[in-house]
Copies of this chain bind each other. A is one copy, B any other.
Amino acid sequence: MEFDLIELIRARTAQPRGDVALGIGDDAALLNLPAGQQLVACTDTLVEGVHFPRGTAPQDLGWKSLAVNLSDLAAMGATPAWAMLALTLPHADQRFVEAFAEGFAQLARTHAVALVGGDTTRGPLSVTVSAFGFVPENRALLRSGARVNDAVFVTGTLGDAAAALRLMRDSGLGARDSINEQARAELQSRLNRPEPRIAAGLALRDVASACIDVSDGLLADLGHLCVASGAGALIEADALPFSSAMFALFNSEERRAFALGGGDDYELCFTASVDRADRLSADFARLGFGALRIGRIVAEPGVRVRDAHGNTVETSRRGWQHFAS
C-alpha cells in the first residue's frame, strides 16, 4: 500500500526537472547538482492538533506542509528545487491522500518543486516535509548579519493566521454579516494557505543584512535574528502592518497581540543598512512585493516595542513555543 500512496502523490505532483536523475521508486532519489551553488536544506513537521486544527481540509494541509518549508528556503534567499514528504495517516484513506496531494501539488507547481522522495506510514496524523533549494555560493541570507542602526522590515501583513485561529475558537464572536464573512475567509486563507515569500527572498539577496521567516511570531523570530546578530531591536507598534480583514474584525490591542506573538505568518523579517532603507520600499514595490519598515536594530539585547508616545509596550506573549506549557 505504501507504494500506491506514494505513486498517487507522485503522479499529482509530477514536476519535470532536468536535475532529477531518478525520482520516487528506488531506495533513494538521485539528484544532479548545479555548479557554483550551495544546497539549502530544511525540514518541518506538522502534527494534527498541535500545528493545525483537527478537521483541517487535506488540500490545505498538503499546501501548508510544503509552504512552511518553502518559507524557510525563502528566508535564506534560495530558489526551491526538490522536496521529500513523509506522511503518517491513521489509515489508508485514498480520498484524503488525493486531496492532500492536490494541495501539495498546487504549491509545488507554482515554484517548480519536484517531489523526489517519500514515505507513507500508519499512525497519528502528521506530515514531515524536507525542502531543498539553491543559492549562489556565499550569497545566502543569514540571521546573523544585522548591524546596529540597520532598519527592520517585514513583508506582507502580520497576525492574520493567529486571528483566524482565534475566530475558530470563539466561533460565536461578532456579528455574522457579509463583510465579516469575507474578512473571516481572508484570515482563514492566510492560516491554511500561506504564500512562501520566495520572490522576496531572491530579491533580498543583495539587499538584506539578515533575514528570518516569521513562523513563531514576530517577537520570537526577530528575537532569534537579534541573538544570532549579537544585537537587539526596537519596534514601532504603530508601524506593524495589518490586513484590512484584521482591521475589520479586531481592535488595536488585539491586532498588536496577534502580530507580535501569533505565529504562522510565514512572512520575511529582514534588516538592511539605514542608508539603503529609504529607497527600499519603492524598490520592493517594483519587484512585486510589499515590505514595511517597522523599526531598527539597537545594541541592547532583546526586542522592545514602543508606541507612538515613546512608551514601551508590554509584550507578555513571547511567541508560540513547542512544548511550552
Inter-chain contact A117/B43, CB cutoff 8 Å: yes
Find residues 77-115 in chain A having any chain B CB closer than 8 Å to their own CB: 78, 82, 84-86, 88-89, 91-92
**Candidates B26, B42, B116; contact of A228 at CB < 8 Å:** B26
The oligomer's copy count stands at 2
Chain A, interface size: which category? Answer: 35 or more
Question: Does A288 interact with chain B (Cβ within 8 Å)?
Answer: no
In the complex, chain B residues whose CB is within 8 Å of the CB of A92: 322-323
Question: Does A21 interact with chain B (Cβ within 8 Å)?
Answer: yes
Q: In the complex where A122-B322, A323-B122 touch, is A86 in contact with B31 (Cβ < 8 A)? A: no
Inter-chain contact B324/A1, CB cutoff 8 Å: yes
User: How many angstroms from the CA of A179 to the CA of B108 in the assembled complex?
Assistant: 56
In the complex, chain B residues whose CB is within 8 Å of the CB of A78: 28
Question: Does A51 interact with chain B (Cβ within 8 Å)?
Answer: yes
Question: Does A321 interact with chain B (Cβ within 8 Å)?
Answer: yes
Question: Does A311 interact with chain B (Cβ within 8 Å)?
Answer: no
In the complex, chain B residues whose CB is within 8 Å of the CB of A47: 88, 121-124
User: How many angstroms from the CA of A122 to the CA of B115 in the assembled complex?
Assistant: 26
Identity of the chain B residue whose Cβ is nearest the Cβ of A134 in the assembled complex: B33
User: How many angstroms from the CA of A51 to the CA of B38 in the assembled complex?
Assistant: 35
Find residues 274-325 in chain A having any chain B CB closer than 8 Å to their own CB: 321-324
User: How many angstroms from the CA of A167 to the CA of B134 in the assembled complex?
Assistant: 48
Inter-chain contact B123/A49, CB cutoff 8 Å: yes
Q: In the complex where A35-B35, A121-B322, A126-B126 touch, is A42 in contact with B29 (Cβ < 8 A)? A: yes
Q: In the complex where A35-B35, A41-B116, A84-B43 touch, is A26 in contact with B122 (Cβ < 8 A)? A: no
Q: Apart from A28-B78, A33-B37, list 20 A-B contacts with CB within 8 A.
A: A1-B323, A22-B140, A26-B76, A26-B228, A27-B72, A30-B39, A30-B40, A33-B38, A35-B35, A43-B119, A45-B119, A45-B121, A47-B122, A47-B124, A49-B123, A50-B121, A91-B323, A122-B322, A122-B323, A123-B124
